[in-house]
Chain A
Amino acid sequence: MTENIELNMTSEEFLNQLPELFAKSSGARISEDPRYSRILRENPTCAELVRDLEYIAEQARMLLEPENEIEPSPELWSKIQSSLETDKNKPE
């Protein structure tokens, strides 16, 4: 039943449901899901949008790799040390 609804969606319904479809897909590609192959084939604009959004989400996951982490300025540790000293010297 649900599958039929998905198979018969209009492009507007598809676009309106995209936030939920992405949430349900848990990382799987909507662009490769047979339930949406008809609508994506018939609507190249929708297909392009889905591919772009999938690409953005995939690239975002790669930002988490340690090599993409950014180094804070070397002065930051001195500032933290100085604040810790002030903290220690504060009366309880």
Chain B
Amino acid sequence: MQVQVQGMTTTNATPGLFKRNPPIAGEAEAIEKAKNGDADAFSKLYALHKRRVYTLCLRMLGNVSEAEDMTQEAFLHLYRKLGSFRGESAFSTWLHRLTVNLVLMHLRKKGLQLVSLEETINPSEEDAPKRDFGSRDPHLSGSVDRVALERAVATLPPGYRLVFVLHDVEGFEHNEIAGMLECSTGNSKSQLHKARLKLREILRQNEQAMPKQEAAK
């Protein structure tokens, strides 16, 4: 099935996130009222979904100011397009896809639109993960908290970050990501692997820096 969001045709596949997203109490009523121009009902929809939409934007963009701008954009589009929501998928799924498409459009406008993402998604040599897996430092397990991971994700090169967030955090499949980013499934798999390698590198560097910082105190 295909749905129109933002004037773009997208596959109506359910991302992993929303498979475990039960309907929210009062949401259906708020949607119907907001469709009829009820400002309080729209405000309720904002209150219900602002954190999810903002967090998604922030993780995809790695920048607070841009994330706020895109969250604003997402809710403005929601207001304009709400009438076209037919309930064929969960509202949160629909809003989530609308947000992802907006962020991708924003990134293309910033410089990724003329050449396919397949070519521009690759970061510079400097940003690429190193192929040296030789050193036997203590492994990461148990030592990385959520904040450290969020920070490390924010420092990833944009192409790596997008694929990592869409696949590992948001639960999209590689074929869905390939469709969204206009790249091959193989490219999505390879970018994800490189993103995880890069994260490992960043997290290990941070871990090694920690004892030195502690000692300097």
Residues of chain A whose beta carbon lies under 8 Å from any beta carbon of chain B: 15, 18-20, 22-23, 44-46, 48-49, 51-53, 55-57, 59-64, 66, 68-73, 76-77, 79-80, 83-84, 87
Contact = CB atoms under 8 A, between A and B. Distances in A.
Interface stretch (B6-14, B99-107, B144-152, B208-216): B144-152
29 contacts: A15-B133, A48-B136, A51-B140, A51-B141, A52-B141, A53-B200, A55-B140, A55-B141, A56-B140, A59-B146, A59-B149, A60-B153, A60-B168, A61-B169, A63-B59, A66-B51, A69-B51, A70-B51, A70-B54, A72-B50, A72-B51, A76-B50, A76-B71, A76-B72, A77-B46, A79-B72, A83-B76, A87-B79, A87-B80
Interface in B47-63: 50-52, 54-55, 58-59
A70 B58 contact: yes
Majority SS at the chain A contact face: helix
B68 A76 contact: yes
Given A20-B189, A63-B149, A77-B46, A70 B76 contact: no
Contacts of B153: 60
Nearest to B199: A56
B28 interface: no
A61 B196 CA distance: 13
Contacts of B43: 77
Contacts of A48: 136, 139
B133 A72 contact: no
Interface of B: 17, 42-43, 46, 50-52, 54-55, 58-59, 67-68, 71-72, 75-76, 79-80, 133-134, 136, 139-141, 144, 146, 149-150, 153, 164, 168-171, 174, 189-190, 192-193, 196-197, 199-200, 203
A72 B171 contact: no
Given A52-B200, A70-B51, A72-B51, A18 B168 contact: no
A24 to B, nearest CB: 10
Contacts of A55: 139-141, 144
Contacts, number: 111
A76 B43 CA distance: 12
B196 A57 contact: yes
Given A51-B139, A59-B144, A80-B75, A64 B133 contact: no
Contact of A69 (B46, B52, B170): B52
Contact of B196 (A20, A53, A76): A53
- Complex A-B, nearest 3 residue pairs according to Cβ-Cβ distance, in ascending order: A60-B168, A19-B193, A69-B51
